[in-house]
Structure 1
């Protein structure tokens, strides 16, 4: 399976192009990094690949076909700020159930305690909340994961635990991972190859 962006261009309104002529591909089971300075379009590219935005130029395909418009999306995006990705009016148990639920082994691996599932999002720390966002994204139907600065706001121990679970899951399920970050050392540690977005400018 292949997730591919070909000659993608994007801009907000009539402003300057955020992305122009960007081509990148991620294969099943592959871990690819995307690096670049702030404002170079890393987050926008992640949103386009996950179907949150449509490119103004070029295309995004999954095995040569357009991304699906309905049903569970095979490309899942985990944001840097988890509090913006969950419904503040739902307890965490409902948030998990809305995504189809998650197996207990995965919750345990991510360090999610049973009691946390009965809490509201504002009753959890950023690290605890991000664990739920990762668990929600790691479903059997997920073929590709876009991790947009996913652990940038977390302490080193939490970062290591989450990445260990994600990479183990990716290997076991042949899931492709695109790691978006400005931290070169992190990308070199996690990824088989790294794409610098500044090469497309």
Structure 2
């Protein structure tokens, strides 16, 4: 299983390219880091790679075929700000069900308590919310995870707990991970290779 960006070009304003002619491949089970200064296009690249944004040039391929336009997306994205990624009008159990059945074992590994399921998003801390976002992204048919500054906003202990759980799960399921971060030390510790975007 391979995810490939082939000659990708993207802009928000015409002819002001954020990146152009960008090639990238990641294999199942591989953990790749992406580092670079703020505003260089890391988040945009993650959004393009996971199908949230359509590039003006090039294609994203999963095993040589375009990403599906309907149904469950096998490339999942976890944002830096979990409060922006959940519906404030849904209790957490409904948010989890959005992608299909709840994997109880996964909730346990991520430290999600049963009583949190009946709560509203504003009743949870950032770390608790992010655990839900990770659980929602790591469905049984997820093949690649784009982790965009996934734990940047969290305290060191919560960061470590979430990454430890995620690395266990992706190893078991042979999921590829693109970890987008400013933290070179984190990427050095968890990644098989690291790319720099300018």
Answer whether TM exceeds 0.5 for this pair.
yes
Unaligned runs of at least 5 residues, structure 2: none
Shift of 1:101: 2.7
Shift of 1:142: 0.2
Aligned counterparts of 2:144 and 2:59: Cα–Cα separation in 1? 17
Aligned counterparts of 1:15 and 1:59: Cα–Cα separation in 2? 18
Query: Equivalent residue for 1:130?
Result: 130
Aligned counterparts of 1:197 and 1:171: Cα–Cα separation in 2? 26
Tell me the TM-score normalized by structure 1. Answer: 0.96
Tell me the TM-score normalized by structure 2. Answer: 0.98
Aligned counterparts of 1:128 and 1:95: Cα–Cα separation in 2? 13
**1:67-88 deviations in Å (ceiling 9; x for gaps):** 1001100000000000110010
Unaligned runs of at least 5 residues, structure 1: none
Query: Equivalent residue for 1:2?
Result: 2
Shift of 1:19: 1.3
Contact 1:101 1:136 in 2 (8 A): no
**1:52-98 deviations in Å (ceiling 9; x for gaps):** 00111111100111110011000000000001100100000111112
Aligned counterparts of 1:197 and 1:27: Cα–Cα separation in 2? 19
Shift of 1:24: 1.1
Aligned counterparts of 1:19 and 1:134: Cα–Cα separation in 2? 28
**1:97-142 deviations in Å (ceiling 9; x for gaps):** 1211322221111111111111100111100000000000111110
In the alignment, does 2:91 pair up with 1:109?
no
Aligned counterparts of 2:182 and 2:8: Cα–Cα separation in 1? 21
Shift of 1:13: 2.9
1:59 counterpart SS class: strand
Runs of 4+ in 1 over 3 A off after TM superposition: none
